[in-house]
Structures are given as C-alpha cells and as structure tokens.
Amino acid sequence: MTLPNVMKVSQLPADDALDDDLPPLELRLASEFSIEALVDIYNQTRMDYIVPMPMNAARLEEYIHTYNVRLEYSAVAVSDGQVLGLSMLGVRPRHTWVTRLGVIPVLRRRGTGESLMRHHIDSSLALGVDYVTLDVIKNNVPAHRLFKKLGFEENRELLILRRPPGPPKTEVEPYTVTWLESDGAIEFLQRRRERPSWLTENESLINGGSLYALQVELSDGSNGWLVYQKTVFQLGRLVIQTEAGDPRRVARTLAHALHTHHSLQDTKTENFPVDDPHLPGLQDVGYIESFRRIELRLDLVRS
C-alpha cells in the first residue's frame, strides 16, 4: 500500500516488541488516509478475528457518523513504510471511546497495539474528557491483558443478541399496542433510565436513524416501551423500559408485539447488559446470545 504524505503524529516505544532492531514505529493521522485505504487496513487486521466483522467504504462512513469517530484523533501505525494496524477514537462530551483497534496478524508482537492505545489516552487527556471506554470480545485474552495493563477496569458484560425472522410462538396475555415513529422514539429515549454503552447511547441511536417505537399496556396496568431501528432486512438497537409492572412480563409482551408486526426481519441488538431485567422476557420470545463483550473504562479524572 502506498502511504500518503502525512505528518508524523508520534513515535512511541514498542514496550512488548520482540526485536529491538525493528524499525521505529510511527503513528499517522487516520484523517490523512482515504476511506478506502482505511477499509483495506481494517479488513487486513480482522483476517483472524474471533468474530469476523468485514467492512466496506459505505459502512465505514456510516460507522464514523453514527459513533462520532474523529479521524483526526484516530491513528494508523506504520513502520519503515509498512502499515501495521490502526485504531479509531470516538469523541463526545466528557468521554471518548476506542474502537476498531487492530494489527495485521503477521505483524503483531511489535508493541503496535499498546502504542495506538497510549496515543488515544494522550489524545483523551488533551481533550479534557473524564474517562475513556472500550469494548473487547470476551475471551480475547491478548487484548484484554493489554487494556488491563494500561489501567482500564472492567465495567460489565454486554450481550450481542439475535433472533431469526418469524412470528413469535410464545403465547402472551392480551395487550394493547401503540406504534410511534421517529419523534416518539426520541421522546422515549429522553426518558430512559438504563446506563447505555457507547453503541447504545442516545447520540448513537439518533445518528443511526430509522428509529421507531411501540408502547404496550396489559390489563392490570403494566406497561412499557421499546425503541428500535428498522431497515429493510433487519431490526436492531433495541432499548426497553418498563414503566409499571414486571420487566420480564413487559419485555415479553413488547417483543411479541414487535415480531408479530415485523415477522420478516432478522433481529440483532448489541451491548445488551447481561443483568438487564428485561433479558429473560426477550429469551422467552426467541432471542439467543451470539457472543459477549466486556466493557472497560479508564478514569482520567480522579476523585
């Protein structure tokens, strides 16, 4: 790959490098690379990843917009003209988020991941945010070990849930349902009480667009609402809140209404907290765990 003529951001020591004679590592601004070049680098870093996540230019542009990724704070690692890997940084008020960190498999063990992470921590300090978060797939031991080494602490486990197309087979008690479009969905989001991850923060959901919502009420007054994103082939970005009654019962009813109405779409929702009281209700209606992530956090402002 031909590298653009760009400024050198930093030159950091490769603490875990196996060979002291390796050429020095340079970090270059991701904003100086084309989207197509970033996609090519990213896909090379994911060739042996635990969960394949291939990317194309349109998807990366959407990802950058949805999650407030700032390419001027993101970096590509280079050594002697050879690209080693990249990492991106999302920036919002009070906190940042490290994402898409990856190193090309045959070029690992040179300290690249640690250098990219230290760059993001330094950038976050310069931005004056309170903390940095990231998600790592559970059982990705090398990455988890690196983040712990840099001072990140485990926050919680998050589930990626899927449900195949088809109407629900679970029977539920009678209920009434009200359907709402984008404005109603955003109103519900302003009332949410859960602690979202970066992927499920209101900004991410609103940036992602195509939001809808439904509200159900049961005969005894139990009620709640569900916000979701709908595309042609898939439902996702589920946010559930019970306003009255048992969360499992309300979630089961909400999911029943959702999949009765949208029976043709596959469903995938990310970063659902493992201890969320609505989870059993979703499982009642056919949701299964695909894999888990661990959310980690590094506080930059000490109390």
Token readout for 46 is 């994911």
Instruction: Kindly state whether residue 91 falls inside one of the protein's structural domains.
Output: yes
pLDDT at 29 (0 to 100): 96
141 membership: H or E segment, kind and range: helix 141-149
Average pLDDT, the chain: 90
Instruction: Kindly state whether residue 148 falls inside one of the protein's structural domains.
Output: no
Quick: pLDDT tens for 211-231.
Answer: 999 999 999 999 999 999 999
What confidence tier does 303 reach under pLDDT thresholds 50, 70, 90?
low
Give percent above pLDDT 70 in the chain: 89
User: Tokens 């940036």 appear where?
Assistant: 207
Helix and strand numbers, DSSP H then E, in the chain? 8, 13
pLDDT at 22 (0 to 100): 66
Quick: pLDDT tens for 250-300.
Answer: 999 999 999 999 999 999 999 999 999 999 999 999 999 999 999 999 999
pLDDT at 15 (0 to 100): 43
Least confident range of 104-108, 117-121, 122-126, 237-241: 104-108
User: Does the structure show a pLDDT above 90 at 301?
Assistant: no
Question: Same structural domain for residues 174 and 261?
Answer: yes
Q: Which residues have C-beta within 8 Å of that of residue 21, sequence separation ≥ 6?
A: none
Give the CATH number of the domain where residue 274 resides.
3.40.630
HSE of 166, CA atoms in CB hemisphere, 13 A = 9
Average pLDDT, integer, range 136-148: 93
Instruction: Kindly state whether residue 120 falls inside one of the protein's structural domains.
Output: yes
pLDDT at 69 (0 to 100): 98
Exposed, middle or buried, 106 (CB in 10 Å: 0-12/13-18/19+)?
A: exposed
How many domains does one find in the chain?
Answer: 2
Local structure of residue 208 (DSSP, 8 states): H
pLDDT at 252 (0 to 100): 98
Question: Same structural domain for residues 116 and 176?
Answer: no
- In the chain, the N- to C-terminal Cα span, in Å, equals 46
Question: Same structural domain for residues 105 and 164?
Answer: no
pLDDT at 65 (0 to 100): 97
pLDDT at 259 (0 to 100): 98
Give the CATH number of the domain where residue 92 resides.
3.40.630.30
pLDDT at 6 (0 to 100): 31
Instruction: Kindly state whether residue 140 falls inside one of the protein's structural domains.
Output: no
Quick: pLDDT tens for 11-65.
Answer: 334 444 445 566 788 999 999 999 999 999 999 888 766 666 778 999 999 999 9
68 to each of 31, 110, 183, 268, how far by Cα in Å? 14, 29, 21, 21
Residue 29 belongs to domain spanning: 8-129
Instruction: Kindly state whether residue 139 falls inside one of the protein's structural domains.
Output: no
Smallest CA-to-CA distance from 112 within 15, 252, 188, 239 is with: 15
User: Does the structure show a pLDDT above 60 at 2?
Assistant: no
User: Does the structure show a pLDDT above 50 at 9?
Assistant: no
Average pLDDT, integer, range 146-161: 96
Question: Same structural domain for residues 173 and 87?
Answer: no
What confidence tier does 79 reach under pLDDT thresholds 50, 70, 90?
confident
Average pLDDT, integer, range 120-124: 97
259 membership: H or E segment, kind and range: helix 247-261
Instruction: Kindly state whether residue 219 falls inside one of the protein's structural domains.
Output: yes
Question: Same structural domain for residues 185 and 279?
Answer: yes
Question: Same structural domain for residues 118 and 175?
Answer: no
Question: Same structural domain for residues 119 and 165?
Answer: no
226 to each of 101, 194, 252, how far by Cα in Å? 32, 13, 11
pLDDT at 106 (0 to 100): 62
Question: Same structural domain for residues 108 and 184?
Answer: no
Say how far apart CA 170 and CA 125 lie, in whole Å. Answer: 50
Higher pLDDT, 11 or 233: 233
Question: Same structural domain for residues 117 and 234?
Answer: no
Instruction: Kindly state whether residue 2 falls inside one of the protein's structural domains.
Output: no
pLDDT at 51 (0 to 100): 66
Question: Same structural domain for residues 39 and 107?
Answer: yes
Question: Same structural domain for residues 104 and 227?
Answer: no
Question: Same structural domain for residues 105 and 187?
Answer: no
User: Tokens 């595309």 appear where?
Assistant: 231
Instruction: Kindly state whether residue 154 falls inside one of the protein's structural domains.
Output: no
Say how far apart CA 144 and CA 92 lie, in whole Å. Answer: 24
Q: Are 227 and 211 in contact (CB under 8 A)?
A: yes
